[in-house]
Amino acid sequence: MSSSDDVLKSLVSHAKEYGFVFPSSEIYDGLSATYDYGPYGVDLKNNIKAYWWKAMVQIHTNLVGLDSAIFMHPTTWKASGHVDAFNDPLIDNKDSKKRYRADVLIEEYLEKIRLKIEKEVEKAAQRFGDSFDRDMYLKTNARVLGYAEEMDQVRGKMKAALEAADLESLRQLIVDLGIVCPLSGSKNWTEVRQFNLMFATELGSVSGEASTIYLRPETAQGSYVNFLNVQKSARMKIPFGIAQIGKAFRNEIIARQFIFRMREFEQMEMQFFVRPGTEMEWFEYWKNFRIKWHSVLGLGSQNYRFHDHIKLAHYANAATDIEFNFPMGFKELEGIHSRTDFDLKAHETFSGRKQQYFDPELQESYIPYVVETAIGLDRMFLAVMSASYTEEKLEDGSERTLLALPRWLAPVKLAILPLLKKDGLPELALDIFKKLRLDYTCQYDEKDAIGKRYRRQDAIGTPYCITIDHQSLEDGMVTLRDRDSMSQERIPIQDLKGWLHQRLDMSVLLEQLT
């Protein structure tokens, strides 16, 4: 075990113990790669979302929001390419341990029959010489007709099984045909399993093909199919963008590394529609803006790097990842893609509805090009947690566990602590607590020694503690204790709001982006 594994392990433990992330369905032994967000986790997550939403939708006048449904018309995924690209029925041979595509095995079988027909034809051609009529022979020879008949039957069965996603029949077909593994020569097959990126479920109570529906594997398509709705209803002019935060689902073959790769996850995506030919300028703009969004949080610039794609997906003409230095190493945190007009064009074809924008400056209509920014919310959560989590050794030899979260994102912003649980200190502290909780998430704590309470707040990343002592009763001043430096300063109670505003309000952070 390397130390990076230990870091991740400690982080997982800490996240569970302090109510950030729990393994899902834990009382039933858990569910692989599925996690629940606890009381502090959900606040941290919500704060990340708020930061993203404000930075994107609120401060960009050319961005608007959308919250489209997780269910979408099945044709959506045909148009996007997801159905065809990730729909392989796979079967394993138990002896050779080799994995095959079931349909390919059957295709190869069909090819063998076809070769047999060819052989018959060749033989006949030799027999009949120049008078040989190939077409006539194919239509009349009993043996050839038998082969052809078998091919038709097999092909029909395979097609039916594939279209109905009937894996049992597909396997039965392989068994019935006596197909053997090219390597081991055995017929010792496993079940046929569908490796599909998308989760299928059924809409309505009547089962059958027509009601098969998918849980969306990305939120982007919701923005594409609503492109014209949004453009018209919000009176948007190109260039403009649609932002969306929401859950997405992918049937990853391996889903691991804590919340880094989950089958159910949340995305923060933005689709920016531009005039064709201008996409690279906007690609650059969003690339710069997105890295700025990350850097002002202060997780450390050395933890980020760009990774430009050399091999591009079918829909893209430029792509880069923002990678983050996770405990497992640098991994993709966010993707910025120039997706061309691939998606809108496909939807126009499949739906038969024009997906075009009339550009008043050019006096012409076109399908816009799209620049996408897509960040994994759970990955961002993990990035924030892992960069913030530290086990400190203090000068006096003691240790403390510190979650140095960016203070705007901290689930609890303030802890209000009476130094002693008597002499009227709790009363004043509660008084302050009740006022501050209107603006910030606060905790009131009067239990245990003051040092212990500070450490408790350090563990959940509370940036500031406000301590009320006897002197506070006389001079109206309180102690503000800083989480990271542990330094203290006295400030008047009436100055608290202004002091806190400068340090905690997101508007101050957003200002750095403009």
Binding site for RNA (CB under 7 A): 5, 8-9, 13, 16-17, 23, 29-33, 85, 92, 97, 99, 190, 195, 250, 252-254, 256-258, 309, 312-313, 316, 319, 321, 328, 335, 337, 396-399, 419-422, 447-452, 454-456, 467-471, 478-479, 481, 486-488
Distance CA 188, CA 53 (A): 54
From residue 291, alpha-carbon distances to 320, 340, 437 in Å are 12, 22, 32
| Lookup: tokens for 505 | 């309000």
Residue 372, beta-bridge partner list: 271, 337
Q: Minimum CB separation from RNA for residue 399, in Å?
A: 5
What is the identity of the amino acid at 98?
K
Distance CA 510, CA 514 (A): 7
Angle CA 52–245–514, to nearest 5: 20
Distance CA 158, CA 26 (A): 41
| Lookup: tokens for 137 | 């022979």
Contact 31, 13 (CB under 8 A): no
Residue 268, beta-bridge partner list: 245, 375
Q: Minimum CB separation from RNA for residue 262, in Å?
A: 10
Angle CA 242–219–352, to nearest 5: 80
Distance CA 158, CA 102 (A): 10
Q: Minimum CB separation from RNA for residue 418, in Å?
A: 9
Phi and psi torsions of 495, nearest 5°? -90, -5
Which lies closer to RNA via its Cβ, residue 264 or residue 359? 264
Distance CA 300, CA 304 (A): 8
Q: Minimum CB separation from RNA for residue 250, in Å?
A: 7
Q: Closest by alpha carbon to 77, among 173, 183, 197, 229?
A: 197
Distance CA 81, CA 356 (A): 20
Q: Minimum CB separation from RNA for residue 59, in Å?
A: 26
Span between the terminal Cα atoms of the chain, in Å: 44
Distance CA 386, CA 5 (A): 12
Which lies closer to RNA via its Cβ, residue 26 or residue 511? 26
Kindly give the residue spans of alpha helices, DSSP state H, lying in 327-373. Answer: 342-351
Q: Minimum CB separation from RNA for residue 372, in Å?
A: 9
Q: Minimum CB separation from RNA for residue 373, in Å?
A: 11
**Could you tell me how many residues make up the chain?**
514
Give the three-class secondary structure for 316.
coil
Q: Minimum CB separation from RNA for residue 16, in Å?
A: 5
Q: Minimum CB separation from RNA for residue 311, in Å?
A: 8
Q: Minimum CB separation from RNA for residue 237, in Å?
A: 28
Q: Minimum CB separation from RNA for residue 36, in Å?
A: 13
Which lies closer to RNA via its Cβ, residue 359 or residue 446? 446
Q: Minimum CB separation from RNA for residue 144, in Å?
A: 38
Which lies closer to RNA via its Cβ, residue 296 or residue 491? 491
Phi and psi torsions of 16, nearest 5°? -75, -50
Distance CA 187, CA 341 (A): 47
Q: Which residues contact 375 (CB under 8 A, 6 or more apart)?
A: 52, 267, 268, 269, 290, 322, 333, 334, 335
CB atoms near residue 235 (< 10 Å): 8
Q: Closest by alpha carbon to 222, among 72, 337, 371, 349?
A: 72
